[in-house]
Amino acid sequence: MEPLRDLTWMRYLVTGPTAERVERPGYSAVLVAIPRTKERHLERYRYRAFIFEPSSRSPVLAVNAESDILGEYILTLEDVRGRVVLERYDREPSYEEFRTRALDEAGRRMPTRARTSGARSGARARRTGSRGGPSKDSTTPRKPYAP
């Protein structure tokens, strides 16, 4: 999957307090809760979940709880193609409500390891080094990047 084109995610990971980091098969998520402060009273986002592929430095999905211009709360999903409204709320969703929905949406849209392993029942090409053994890349476990 391609990374998000909207680069505001960087600002939220730096300035918004990280509520939680979640590791799931095939992806990781960083959830941010934007506090209600005098400086952020015009902030449209309340919660954001940034979804990363393994070993990716940029998120490929963002799930957001935000308020629209009329003050109603909506759940949106952003990917490289754009932004879609998934749900409208009568009231501000709780963090737990947002977390559950964001991780469900990520699980639906992110390929799992089983689905990405290839068409031939899990067969994968293995990279080899110059001496015929596995290269250091294939034997070094990597953690998904989450600042």
Q: What residues of the chain score a pLDDT lower than 70?
A: 37-42, 112-147
Residue 144 is predicted with a pLDDT of 55
Task: Write the single-letter amino acid at 79.
Answer: D
Q: What is the pLDDT of residue 41?
A: 60
pTM (two decimals): 0.70
- Give tens-digit pLDDT for 6-20: 877 878 877 777 789
Hey, where are the domains in the chain? 8-110
Quote the pLDDT of residue 2.
Answer: 84
**C-alpha to C-alpha distance for 20 and 30, rounded to whole angstroms:** 6
Q: C-alpha distances in angstroms, 139 versus 23, 25, 135, 145?
A: 20, 18, 7, 18
